[in-house]
Amino acid sequence: MKRKPLKPSRRPGRSRVPERPVPVVEERGTPVQAVVAVGPVIGRDGKGNHCLYLTMGEGVGPLFILQVDPRTGRCRQFSAAKGISGGRPVCWSERWNRLFVAASGPGTGAEYEGYLLEFDPKKARLTNRGRIGPSPSGFPCSIAEAADGSIYVGTYPRCILVRYRPDRRRFESLGRMDEADQYLYVQCGEDGTVATLVKMAHPHVVVFDPKSGTHTPFGPEADTDRQVGRVALLKRADGRLYIDSHEGCFRVHPAGVTAVDALPPPMPPQTLPDGSRFQLCNEGSKRYTARELERIHPDGKRTRVPLTWTYEGTEIYLVRTGPDRKLYGSSVLPLHFFEHNPVSGKTVDRGACSTASGEIYSMDSMDGKLYFCAYTHAILGMYDPTRPWQFGSEGAREDANLRFGKPDDNPRQLGRIDSIAYRPRDMCAGPGGKVWVASVPDYGMWAGTLSWYDPKRDTFGGAHRNIYPDCSAYTMTYLPELDRLAVGFSIYGGSGTSPRAERTGFVLWDPVQDRETWRGDCGLEIVGVMDMEYAGDGLVYAIVHTRPAHVLIAHLLLLDLPRNRVVKHVRLDTAAGWPLEVSFQRDDRFLYGATRESIYRVPLGTVDLDVVWRNRKDGPSCGGALLGKHYYFGSLHRLRRARVR
């Protein structure tokens, strides 16, 4: 049966901007001021002395370079231009006496723009040499210096290789190294070889010939989705490039690859002339704080070097209400766990709560405990607010399932929810006595999972994949009248993939028997279900993005899933803005949600949108905590609340 797009009826619902005065949105502070730090890289200062460089950023402020004197610990901070916030690929060139950073900033829509930054120690200036390719140039994910001094950059999402010649200050786009995959990681050998590792769906090596400008795939290929094979591109101690794979080891050269019996030793770590090496301190809750370096002396002695820097703040990814009526949340890259007391206004940045480095995607409470699941690897943790904080006991190690720490740690890292999940989009704690997690899969994979954790038995289960073929479990809510989980799906897979499915839908799931009991799409052509919330009387609210995928249409729906029908609907994007995912909250009277420009509420049982607060230039960037009369949300690095009752 051919499905028709959802069209508004004469009166499917109503949306209105309230006539009452716009309520004041209260600022509640900046919970986290942290950075993603890359390095330290050993280079030279303006006088030619050895120094350390760290690249820091990824948050609200511009990227910056931190220059550290290893003798005195003195730090100097050099910032990029406003709008250039990310820059992980970095290399020091002795030939050019420069630090090169492949940086990024927001482009049009969801696209990134890539830039090449150059730091000249003598001029003490961080200079933007320009966009690395035609707009949108993409996100730079790798950088390397070739034997002739050329700087190569690999990009996402079009797998384009770019060459920059510092002496001419000229960029050359060398084209796509693969027509299907999206991530490109470049390496350069000291013999003049330039090769790239193409990822994520089918990892394989493509060799680029600098003389002819041609590129050719060589060697084995892996299949990430089927979990068959492995391919790694490595630079070893002899300065040459090698492939380490499921089919054996190969040396890479401009004309192809040659099988070898074994790999040479790894590249030695960077050291100062006296043999000292440096690393960021990364232990316990200090993980990802980037406030100290550890110096490892040649005799094994270890000393600390404090790092001093300033930054505007780190974007908030998630805010939720805990079992103790406090607010808890997570920052984005790096993951810092914070708590906020709404009565006193005090906010505490707890630092790391997981060995996952990204952010907490989902959070819910059960039996007085707060459960959270984090990117990367969908690692589940549990925090008891009644006990003192202690994460990452000394000497703690991760096991094969990423369980970490000791039984009396608080929070406890319980382990990976399953072996496929990577971005744990939503959580529902309680049904069947379990903590349920809906996830997008790992990079290069399709079909995310519906999984659970049983606290009483301390066991994981589920890992249900391909419930809808090639689709990911994305969001869910619990229907007490039916004792069922309502689960919504998305056609999207892990990063680095393009959708295989054209449409998806919903299922009802028995949390005790752990099985599907119903499925349907309510007659809609669904690209993705962005959020779901119980509406009472066996009904559910859902935000649905309908086909075609490139057209940004989002409907707020009131659904009767067992009867596979839409009860009421309204266009959400035109009435309130583009929705923020998993932002739904509810009380006994209203459903609440957030878009990129507003906070709204809906009387239960209706789709009568009431826009409570709106700011198109400084709106929400994340939402999802209802406490008392207020809805709490993040606007980039700031925690805010709007009075909604």
Q: What is the pLDDT of residues 392-424, one digit of tens each?
A: 876 678 888 999 988 889 999 999 999 999 999
Does the residue 127 lie in any domain?
yes
Reported as type and span, the H/E element at residue 56 is strand 50-57
DSSP letter string over 230-286? Answer: -EEEEEBTTS-EEEEETTEEEEEETTEEEEESSPPPBPPPP--TTS-EEEE---GGG
Same domain as 349, residue 200: no
Same domain as 520, residue 439: yes
Q: Which of 255, 279, 303 finishes a domain?
A: 279
Strand arrangement of the beta sheet that strand 183-188 belongs to:
183-188, 194-199, 204-208, 215-218
CB 192 within 8 A of CB 212: no
What pLDDT shows up at residue 6? 55
Same domain as 263, residue 358: no
CB 68 within 8 A of CB 126: no
Distance (Å, whole) CA 642 – CA 645: 9
Distance (Å, whole) CA 153 – CA 140: 7
Does the residue 316 lie in any domain?
yes
Same domain as 396, residue 270: no
Same domain as 237, residue 154: yes
b/e per residue 115-125 (b: at least 16 CB within 10 A): bbbbbebeeee
Does the residue 350 lie in any domain?
yes
Does the residue 205 lie in any domain?
yes
Instruction: Classify 172 as helix, strand or coil.
Output: strand
Its pTM stands at: 0.93
CB atoms near residue 1 (< 10 Å): 4
DSSP 574: H
Of the candidates 346, 351, 380, 376, the residue with the CA atom closest to the CA atom of residue 363: 380
CB 218 within 8 A of CB 207: yes
What pLDDT shows up at residue 405? 87
What pLDDT shows up at residue 498? 95
How long a stretch of residues is the chain? Answer: 645
What pLDDT shows up at residue 105? 84
Same domain as 354, residue 250: no
Q: Which of 237, 260, 279 finishes a domain?
A: 279
Residue 381 CA, chain-centre distance (Å), reads: 17
Same domain as 232, residue 104: yes
Strand arrangement of the beta sheet that strand 241-245 belongs to:
231-235, 241-245, 248-253, 256-260
CB 132 within 8 A of CB 140: yes
What pLDDT shows up at residue 284? 75
Does the residue 353 lie in any domain?
yes
* 67: β partners: 53, 76
Cis omega (within 30 of 0) for bond into 40: yes
Does the residue 228 lie in any domain?
yes
Residues of the chain with pLDDT under 70: 1-23, 107-110, 394-395
Same domain as 324, residue 259: no
Residue 474 CA, chain-centre distance (Å), reads: 15
Cα distances from 40 to residues 272, 498, 613, in angstroms, run 12, 35, 44
CB 141 within 8 A of CB 95: no
β-pairing verdict for 359-366 and 347-351 = unpaired
Same domain as 319, residue 430: yes
Distance (Å, whole) CA 474 – CA 490: 6
Distance (Å, whole) CA 384 – CA 375: 21
Please give the single-letter amino acid code of residue 310: T
β-pairing verdict for 554-560 and 347-351 = unpaired
What pLDDT digit, counting tens, does each position of 91-134 carry?
Answer: 999 999 999 999 998 765 557 789 999 999 999 999 999 999 87
Same domain as 231, residue 196: yes
Please report, for the domain that includes residue 429, its CATH number: 2.130.10.10
Same domain as 114, residue 68: yes
Please report, for the domain that includes residue 266, its CATH number: 2.120.10.30
CB 591 within 8 A of CB 601: yes
Reported as type and span, the H/E element at residue 590 is strand 590-594
Does the residue 46 lie in any domain?
yes
Q: How many domains are there within the chain?
A: 2
Same domain as 58, residue 111: yes
Residue 43: domain span: 36-279
Q: Which of 226, 256, 279 finishes a domain?
A: 279
Does the residue 120 lie in any domain?
yes
